Structure 1
Amino acid sequence: MEYKWSVLFTILAFILVLVNCIEYSSLNEPYNIGGSLLKPCPLCNTNRKPGPGSPGTQSCCDSSQGVKLVVQGAKRGALDPNKPGSCCHGAVRDYLKTDQFENMFSKRNSLEVEAHAKGFWDYQSFITASAHYQPYGFGTTYMNRTFFGTKEVAAFLAHVATKTSCENKVATNMEKLERGLCYNKEKNSNPNYCDERYKKSYPCAPGVAYYGRGALPIYWNYNYGEAGKDLKVDLLNHPEYIEQNSTLAFQVAIWRWMMPIKKHQPSAHDVFIGYWTPTKNDTLAKRVSGFGATMNVLYGDLVCGKGDNEFMNNIISHYLYYLDLMDVGREAVGPHDVLSCAKQVVFNPSYSSSP
């Protein structure tokens, strides 16, 4: 009799182990992006405070935390069941190739345009800069098992292109989409953008101007101070470093993309990938996650809440064009209210930089 019970318990134990293995396997199944079989991405620890130099509010892809995918509402591996399941894996260079980058910015060094930064920007500088932020989810994020990396890089570069575009009034619409990365600083570089309210934490250096610099230009002494602190570069006293190093110029731009403009607000990265959860007030203000909200975060009422306008449509056109170059179907952008910010109430009225 004891022998029969022993056999029965052994069978039950085997069944339990098998069920657990199947459950664990379902949480760690591989993903197929662009024909490449990827390993399960590491756990994104949404509760851990960021360490020194960490962007945003989440520290993503900590390999010491294991390889379980965070699934919304799941008991296994879900550190915060109220947040969407998120994790990150891979590298931007895996899907953005040199020829795609060159096609995006094919006119940046053209003799036909007045490029203030001719020969400055290159593919490898962007890849090196993006690698610094990949562990935090830039271009590597999955949300609920959907890969957002390719779309995010297209979205980021669309903003970069419109902020650094060459001017040529006789250019065709297609040519205008290829004229990004002609500048590494704003054309009118006289204003110093010194905010004395930050004279203790980020005092303005004598004779230094904090005008817009970089692929996604930053302004003001406090932004130079914050970016420099995170990147461990003395940008407060030497903002000109951004004009001298293309990798740094891209890093500062990605920093701006990953960091909220103000505390208790989402970053452009958060609203794009859907990590941000709109409140009731956000819903009433017609703010929804997606590309449109990135314009809201970065430019406020200089672009958004104005109905259809040239600046907004130009940024959207670049985004759609880059999706085409990266072989991502335009149906992936979602409905118009996700793509646009025409009807959104802005997060920060009268933000300082120009579109």
Structure 2
Amino acid sequence: MGKPLSSVIAFSVLMCLMSVALAQDISSLINEATFNNMLKHRGEGNCRGGFYTYNSFLTAARSFAGFATIGDPDSRKREIAAFFAQTSHETTGGWASAPDGPYAWGYCFIQEQGSPGDYCQPSPQWPCTPGKKYYGRGPIQITWNYNYGQAGRAIGVDLLNNPDLVTSDPVISFKTALWFWMTPQAPKPSCHDVITGRWNPSDADRQAGRVPGFGVITNIINGGVECGKGPNPQVQDRIGYYQRYCGLLGQKRGTQPYIKSCALYNEIYALMVASSPIPKIASPSSSMALADIQTKTFPIMLAKVN
């Protein structure tokens, strides 16, 4: 006896939805071999980045519904390339004459090097836990107690009491970086909105030279140090990683229209909020604080993720 027509239709619709979901899944854009080739030396020598696995990245990425799901496959690959380029610079162990080139050494370090401080800013909302330090950890080198607190709330983990989870659980580690990537911080847009074309620059942005492209993302992450200062090695390092990753991912449109270096910006986001203290993300290769994340007073749009 044949199945009722309604059951056949329902099954067909379910299979169609499953096919669409599989096609949209991030694993259809980056496979494990490509992931390992991108982060080729992350577990070699003094590098501890072998901690980061393909499956931990997939698990974390799937918790953020918008990440690498906007636009056609080429656009989605561009977001993956941009995310890994920026975080690879933050965690790089590369040098000019490194084997396979300087851009094959991303994700070498999982925490700030040297003798990092406590990074504790008194806060009634995000109180520091006695004995805990909030120095740079993870792909984005998240720093300061209030950033740990906000990231932890968003991903459902108590990072104020357990900041070391960012260097002991690779899924949590990736989630902190993705939280930063996906979260706008007024007056800054989110990195995600910039790379996906959802950000519309204001007249002030355009007058300052901030137009959609990779350079604005650098400005969001580390504008106070790298942008508006003319060509510099840090900006070029980020671009070098981006170009390499676009190539490995088979990003068909090429990268040139989207690079737009921030080196010649007339104004940087950090200067727009100069009335507030500007905390930093720490460089993985030194104890010097580098990248601007957000001021203490920035409003944050927090979203609970799975």
Tell me the C-alpha RMSD between the 2 structures. Answer: 2.1
- Match of 1:271, SS state, is helix
| Alpha-carbon separation, structure 2, partners of 1:224 and 1:267 | 18
Q: Which residue of 2 aligns with 1:140?
A: 69
Shift of 1:148: 2.1
Residues 333 and 152 of structure 1: CA distance in aligned 2, closer, same or farther (over 3 Å):
farther
Q: Is the 8 A contact 1:107 1:179 kept in 2?
A: yes
Q: Which moved more, 1:180-189 or 1:283-292?
A: 180-189
Aligned 1:149-160 pairs, distance under 5 A: 149-160=76-87
**TM-score, structure 1 normalization:** 0.68
Q: Which residue of 1 aligns with 2:257?
A: 334
Shift of 1:271: 1.4
| Alpha-carbon separation, structure 1, partners of 2:140 and 2:192 | 14
Structure 2 residue 230 is the aligned partner of structure 1 residue 307:
yes
Q: Which residue of 2 aligns with 1:109?
A: 43
Residues 339 and 330 of structure 1: CA distance in aligned 2, closer, same or farther (over 3 Å):
farther
| Alpha-carbon separation, structure 2, partners of 1:118 and 1:218 | 16
Structure 2's unaligned 5+ residue stretches are: 1-18, 272-277, 282-289, 292-306
| Alpha-carbon separation, structure 2, partners of 1:132 and 1:189 | 33
- Match of 2:158, SS state, is coil
Among all aligned residue pairs of Structure 1 and Structure 2, give the percentage whose two residues are the same amino acid. 34
Paired residue type of 1:240: D
- Match of 1:141, SS state, is coil
Q: Which residue of 2 aligns with 1:121?
A: 52
- Match of 1:162, SS state, is helix
Paired residue type of 2:110: N
Q: Which residue of 1 aligns with 2:91?
A: 164
| Alpha-carbon separation, structure 2, partners of 1:161 and 1:147 | 21
Aligned length: 257
Residues 147 and 223 of structure 1: CA distance in aligned 2, closer, same or farther (over 3 Å):
same
Paired residue type of 1:161: S
Paired residue type of 1:159: Q
Paired residue type of 2:55: Q
Match of 2:176 among 249, 252, 256: 252
Q: Which residue of 2 aligns with 1:352?
A: 280
**TM-score, structure 2 normalization:** 0.78
Q: Which has the higher contact order (CA 8 A, sep 6+)?
A: 2
Q: Is the 8 A contact 2:30 2:249 kept in 1?
A: yes
Paired residue type of 2:153: K
Q: Which residue of 1 aligns with 2:121?
A: 195
Q: Which deviations, in whole Å up to 9, do the C-alpha atoms of 1:112-171 show, x marking residues without a partner?
A: x311x25311111111110001x2x111112xx685211000000011211111255642
Aligned 1:54-133 pairs, distance under 5 A: 90-110=24-44, 113-115=45-47, 117-133=48-64
| Alpha-carbon separation, structure 2, partners of 1:180 and 1:96 | 16
Q: Which deviations, in whole Å up to 9, do the C-alpha atoms of 1:66-119 show, x marking residues without a partner?
A: xxxxxxxxxxxxxxxxxxxxxxx8121111001111111111122xx311x253
Larger Rg: 1
Residues 331 and 190 of structure 1: CA distance in aligned 2, closer, same or farther (over 3 Å):
closer
| Alpha-carbon separation, structure 2, partners of 1:232 and 1:263 | 23
| Alpha-carbon separation, structure 2, partners of 1:167 and 1:178 | 7
Q: Which residue of 2 aligns with 1:45?
A: none
Q: Is the 8 A contact 1:114 1:167 kept in 2?
A: no
| Alpha-carbon separation, structure 1, partners of 2:92 and 2:254 | 26
Q: Which moved more, 1:277-286 or 1:338-347?
A: 338-347
Q: Which residue of 2 aligns with 1:54?
A: none
Residues 162 and 226 of structure 1: CA distance in aligned 2, closer, same or farther (over 3 Å):
same
| Alpha-carbon separation, structure 2, partners of 1:272 and 1:168 | 27
Structure 1's consecutive aligned runs of 4 or more residues displaced over 4 angstroms after TM superposition are: 167-170
